[in-house]
Structure 1
Amino acid sequence: MNHDDLLSQVRATFQAIDPVPAEVLASARSALAWRRPGAELAELSDDRTGRAAGARGAPARALTFTARDTVIEMEIATAGREHEIAGRLAPPAPAQVHVRHLGLAPDRPATRADRAGQFALTGLPEGLVSLLFRLPDGTSIVTSWIRL
């Protein structure tokens, strides 16, 4: 018996005794689809909860992500079970903004940051989320994952 045969038997045994749940396999495949090897990572550098601007003044979460040359500031507000993200890029730059979320199709929903770097996303469900910014020069920035 060679190594390939042995590994095949071990794999079959584990599949029969303790199979990997379908949702775990789907999550793993989705994670690979979300990879952006050339993207720069913007890591969470500040996370505060305070009062949101506006008439109701409900508590909101203010986050700051820092990449080498870019800062991404965003505010997360909650309305029932849905979340809304409003933010901006500094220095200002237009960009395509894509949401990465296990419960949503890859790159959906999406929006655009305007020339002032401002963007907004609405109707986001609870769960882990990361944002992907595609800049006009062809570079990309992804935020680290956070929980809504």
Structure 2
Amino acid sequence: MTRHPAAIDDESLIAALRLASGSDPVPARVTAAAHAAFGLRLPGAVQARSVVTPVPRGVRSTEETRLLRFTAAELTVELEVTSLDGLVDLAGQISPCPEAGTLVEIRTLHLTESRVLSPTGQFAVTGLPPGWFSVVCHRPECSPVVTTWTRIRP
């Protein structure tokens, strides 16, 4: 028994050829999103990768708290993420504690919040919109360390 491929109608074939030839214009919203994404990059930054964080033993909680850890060669960024009333609160710590003058930025797709680290390396931001975020640690005379983009849902 011989199988034949499904028949393609002329309109579908023409649309596929048009796409392959590149003559269909890119929608404006796609171009705008690509420009916005390109603007979020930080050339020269050290990438801190996500590390699996085990749930503490014996802890039972109905709260929506999430623990995240990111590491780069010499720095660890620990975050506690809490969702409340559709907004996101972040409490974090950078270790080892960087020198004075270290600034942390919490970036979302639409806004950036900056905090100066406490003497123990801690920071907090409340009332963020849910969605994608990244944390950047700016240390004096060092390359910035940036976490991978992470999505938080309420």
Range into which the TM-score falls when normalised by the shorter chain: 0.7 to 0.9
Instruction: Tell me which residue corresponds to 1:109.
Output: 113
Determine which structure has more spread, i.e. the larger CA radius of gyration. 2
Which stretches of structure 1, 4 residues or more, deviate above 3 A after TM superposition? 47-50
Q: What is the root-mean-square deviation in Å for CA atoms of aligned residues?
A: 2.4
Q: Match of 1:32, SS?
A: helix
Residue 98 of structure 1 and its aligned partner are, at CA, apart by 1.4
Instruction: Tell me which residue corresponds to 2:138.
Output: 134
Instruction: Tell me which residue corresponds to 1:44.
Output: 50
The count of corresponding residues between Structure 1 and Structure 2 is 128
What CA deviation, in whole Å up to 9, does each residue of 1:92-145 have, x standing for no partner?
Answer: 12521112222x13xx22222222110111111111111111112242000011
- Alpha-carbon distance between aligned partners in 1 of 2:136 and 2:120, rounded to the nearest angstrom: 17
Aligned partner (choices 119, 125, 150) of residue 121 of structure 1: 125
Structure-2-length-normalised TM-score? 0.73
Which ranges of structure 1 fall in alignment gaps of 5 or more residues?
A: 1-9, 51-55
Instruction: Tell me which residue corresponds to 1:144.
Output: 148
Instruction: Tell me which residue corresponds to 2:93.
Output: 88
More strand by share: 1
Do structure 1's residue 72 and structure 2's residue 82 form an aligned pair? no
Structure-1-length-normalised TM-score? 0.75
Would you say the 8 A contact 1:49–1:59 is kept in 2? Answer: no
Q: Match of 1:116, SS?
A: coil
Q: Match of 2:43, SS?
A: coil
Residue 83 of structure 1 and its aligned partner are, at CA, apart by 0.3
Would you say the 8 A contact 1:65–1:72 is kept in 2? Answer: yes
- Alpha-carbon distance between aligned partners in 1 of 2:94 and 2:62, rounded to the nearest angstrom: 24
Instruction: Tell me which residue corresponds to 2:6.
Output: none
Identity over the aligned pairs, expressed in percent? 29
- Alpha-carbon distance between aligned partners in 2 of 1:81 and 1:21, rounded to the nearest angstrom: 30
Q: Match of 2:24, SS?
A: helix
- Alpha-carbon distance between aligned partners in 2 of 1:79 and 1:49, rounded to the nearest angstrom: 20
What CA deviation, in whole Å up to 9, does each residue of 1:68-88 have, x standing for no partner?
Answer: 001111100111110000010
